[in-house]
Chains A and B, each alone.
Chain A
Amino acid sequence: MKNENTNPEDARLATLLRESRVAPTLPPRFQESVWRRIEEAEAPAKAGGGTGWLESLAALMLRPRFALAAAAVLIVAGALLGAREGGQMAKQDARARYLAAVAPNSLR
């Protein structure tokens, strides 16, 4: 095996082979276009347009922290508004009750 490697004919052949390899010249702005194609392949939604915000919103809603905070805000806001409305209704009920006790319907 060693004899084969040190064969001068083989060395010449190897040199010839190296020289015969053609180094092609790259087209202008080759690297830039490659990167652009990679970016386009990674972001198809952006290239399509329109649904990007929906996906972002869906991703936000699936975050546990955001979902819990939103649920807490909705529950507290609903309960507070409901309590305010309930207070008003209770006041109206009480007034109607007093009115029914002092002013007969036939006079109103």
Chain B
Amino acid sequence: MKSLKEKLKGRLSKIDEKAGKSLPPQNISRRNFFKKMGAGIATYVVMTDVLAFQVLGSDAPLKDEDQLASWIHLSDSGKVTVFTGKVEVGQNIRTSLSQVVAEELSISIEHIELIMGDTQQTPYDRGTYGSLTTPQMAPILRKAAANLREMLLQQAKEEWKLGKVKLELEKGFVHHPSNGGKLSYGDLAKGKQWMKKMDEEVPTVDPEAWKTAGTSVRKVNGIDFITGTHRYVSDMSVPGMVYGKILRPPYIGAKLKSVNTGKAAGLDGVEIVQQDDFVGVTAKDSRTASVALAMIEAEWETSPQLSGKDLFSHLVNTGKDQTAIGNALESEYLISDKQLDQEFLVQYIAHVPLEPRAGLALWKGDELQVWTGTQRPFGVQEELQRTFDLPKEKIRVYMPDTGSGYGGKHTGEAGIEAARLAKAVKNPVKVNWTREEEFKWAYFRPAGVIRVKASTQNGHLSAWDFHNFNSGGAAIEAPYEIKEKNHQYHSADSPLRQGSYRALASTANVFAIEAQINDLASANQKDPLEFRLTHLKNERLSNLIKITADAFGWGKRIKRTNIGFGMACGAAKGGYVATFAEVKVDPDTRELEILKVTGGFECGAILNPRHLKSQVVGCMLQGLGGALFESVEFDNGDIKNASLSSYRVPRFKDTPKIEVILVDRKDLPSSGAGEAPIIGIAPAIRNAIFDATGVKINQLPMLPNGLVPVNS
């Protein structure tokens, strides 16, 4: 039987009517493409191309088979335009993807423009999440740019009527091999309408020879951000635009019983929109809209909701697929000389993107344009399609570079609300969520309960039974060699709306795994680093641990009163993490001081060292919040700390001495880095506190009242 890949290749060859001059399979026709883009040379990639296929794996739905993944256009002015459905939320992928393209074309990144996350202009993309942009989109763009380079060389040979010679490219020019002449890329593209599908076989630049990729190129358009001229969605306006606000229930689960909008409607310029439970107002400024909203008299029918104090028992009680432990594992556990059975509790936390959700909607007849900050513009397009029963072609969703997401902006609430209001009031509407709305009506990182029962026999891991209730299955498998092991994720009934988050469940699972390993090492009077290395078979992880331990000075640490050292390691989303911490616990006040954190990270070939370091630092510091103090408090449907004065996030003063160790593996493909480095910080600190005090803290956040407890 033919493999799926072969089948798809067969289909593509039919589409390629004439080698080198073929048309893309759908979405764009060559004529329309060049009409829009101007004359030039272009190359395109379809999803079925090997690189995309490998990365997407079984995840790739077949309907995407012939879907364009990206295309690159070179204009007769020498400008390179790259189209990708990925979006920029602060990962600085606009920069790293530009570097990849610049490298293959031997140009500087100023000549490159990335058009991102625009459903009308860019190819379909399922979303910017899962640390997939770097492993998925970067190789595609690299190959596509390499193809464009080959097209330029071919064109130059034709113009110079050269046979089989090797031509050199440099800074936007192709050089003649003998007569000293040169042709600019723009000259080569002049008057052309040449479009070619990407050829897998075209070689790309060896990472060892990278000049632009792999260097610390600065953030593209950085000046626009520091001068305040970049327009995030919340900053945008269009002529005739009004400001919209939505009536929210006072509690989760409350249903609208009755509503009186009379007083609000009397305000100057205010319009009321009411469609069943959807009630909103629009006004010429946001202040008037807020006042009008406050004047609406609504009665709500509340229903009992689960409170925070009952959360963990509820998650375990509603956990699915709870089967009995296997006999082999059970008996191995029972005969082992050291046994440890622990439970770990993980609270809900909020993403708190500094730019709350925002959406701006504009109707032109039955055509809808929505600007919104989302990690899934094409997903929002589908949501709009369902809401308004429109064909997709009539809906454009556009996402300018947005004020962060961290996994918290997979949805399109504000854009959909703006579109509903705009349709009703027949004017463009902008809906900017308040911080309180963002806390109460977005979604949270899942809470969870983790139960792990593990044992050692003669100092070797013998049994391991690991259960995660609700928080998720990411990185659930311990990276250690264990004789008998079992790990299970049990989905459960979540009382609060939950969703994706930076590294998602990896943080909770690695916290439990690394705490358990630490405590088993301690029970065996073994050095936690040695104990790990004995049981680790993953060379990339072991190497990283050793390098990071050296930088931290693990072997030279001197035990002092009230000072502790801890470590943690793990792998997530293709990245390898080793984190070391030194802490001090005041024996009287029980205050924690983090003296030093050293974070090691390895994600294959590094595309931009400075931006990578920034992601690693950002992950570790953001992770401090969930490790130490972040927690969503809720009581009978009421989120009690829905403000930045009551929900604490890491600030300048929380920044410890921090060192980052990056291991550059030019021989390995690059993975994403926006998520994985968050996983090590909580367990490293937890284990350091244990080392300092003997207290085992098995909950996240660890210090909800700011102090280290006296007992475990």
Does A pair with B?
no
Tell me the A residues contacting B by CB distance below 8 Å.
Answer: none
